[in-house]
Amino acid sequence: MDEVERYRTERDQARNELFTLRAQLESTCAERDRLQEKLWQPHEAIADALPAEVAVPATVSTKSSLPVDPMVTNAVPVERSRLSDAQHDGGPVEHPSTIDLSSSLFPQHVSPPMATPALPQAHLLDCVAARSFAAVLSAGQPPIDDNPVLHPSSDEQGVTQNWQFATTFHRSTKPPKSIKQIQSLIRAAHQPGNCQALTKVKALCSEAHRTPREQKTEVQRFLLSTWRTPDWEHPTSVPKIPVPMNNPRLEDPVEVWVAYYTANPSSCPKGIRRDAEGRPNIQDMRASRKVARLRPPVHPNNPESREARQKFMAVVAELFCEPGAYENILRGAAFSVSPHVDFAPYVGIAEGITGERVARHFAACGVTITVADTELGPWAQQYIRDVYS
């Protein structure tokens, strides 16, 4: 059910983005139509001002604002005088084609046909072409833009002109907001040579380490517990940024966790005292790691598992902060401590977690009464002070 809900949420987000893109596309198409209409107005005015016999047909493209050659304009009266002389002579008169006259008056600049595109990207390219063409007509020089650029190029014969589009798309770099996205980013960072993804993951790790423990998000917790530096990384292959220490594994020695929390004090869990140099107390760290391996796991997007862990931690702290309480429960319920230490996570819901069940779970995993008094007791007392301070 969690996968279905996450899928529905992602589907709704995709639909909202699609509606937004459609609205932007419609707005852009309207802007394109307005620019095209604005471009055609000067040429329609010129065509209306011409005599009827030299009017420019609608099928001929005259999208050009280039100045008319004075030699061509001066040649028009000469042609008319020749026509009048031929009429007086009584000979047959061949009227020049309106297309030929319009071609002599206005050098034709045939623009590429605006075909109806089948994709939204094609609509956007047409809009870009219209805006760039408007800049050419108004300024008389190629447009300069930071994003899509329209470059005119002519072929070897100089007969036709083609327009080549050079587009640059900038993808937004938003931080991952779900565990699925962070998993994809981690996989990308482990691809050899993908320095961009590696740099982004390390920046996210640094940010997660700086975030106080109570304010860490599920994505940040997942990143810190999952991320491992890839084998392909070389110090000179990526930009020089502060490289955070890898998050230790669950089964790593206590000394590794002490070094990790010494380098990242803001991530240090509750219940751990510090010495004069700021290093975590190794006895408290050993107790904290025992509890961490015995507590219920937290599953992403499952609030019940987080409630079970919170209830478990509260019962554990209350059980071990009182000297002798653990021993009394074991003797009263006739629970025996396993001779073998075998850590296993607690399984159960929050409503069923009691001191007796927690004591039985610790005894089954090999936690002795001596360990409870020397390690778990001081840790539990500090844990309660940290929670209620």
The two most distant CA atoms of the chain are separated, in Å, by 137
Q: What is the pLDDT of residue 73?
A: 44
Q: Are 133 and 39 in contact (CB under 8 A)?
A: yes
pLDDT tens sequence across 143-173: 444 444 444 444 444 434 444 444 444 444 5
Rg value, the chain, Cα: 39
Q: Is the pLDDT of residue 334 over 80?
A: yes
Whole-model pTM: value is 0.42
Q: Is the pLDDT of residue 75 over 50?
A: no
Q: What is the pLDDT of residue 72?
A: 41
Q: Which helix (H) or strand (E) holds 364?
A: helix 355-364
Q: What is the pLDDT of residue 13?
A: 84
Secondary structure class of 358 (helix, strand, coil): helix
Tell me the sheet residues that pair with 383.
none
Averaged pLDDT for residues 16-20: 83
Of residues 60 and 387, the one with the higher pLDDT is 387
pLDDT tens sequence across 199-236: 888 888 888 888 887 788 888 888 887 787 887 765 54
Of residues 165 and 188, the one with the higher pLDDT is 188
Q: Are 177 and 219 in contact (CB under 8 A)?
A: yes
Least confident of 54-68, 200-214, 235-249, 366-380: 54-68
In terms of Cα–Cα distance, which of 294, 254, 288, 293 is closest to 273? 288
**366 — alpha (psi -120 to 50), left (phi > 0) or beta?**
left
Instruction: Kindly indicate the confidence band of residue 241, based on its pLDDT and cuts at 50, 70 and 90.
Output: very low
In terms of Cα–Cα distance, which of 123, 125, 126, 132 is closest to 151? 132
Of residues 123 and 196, the one with the higher pLDDT is 196
| Cβ-Cβ contacts under 8 Å for 84 (sequence gap 6 or more) | none
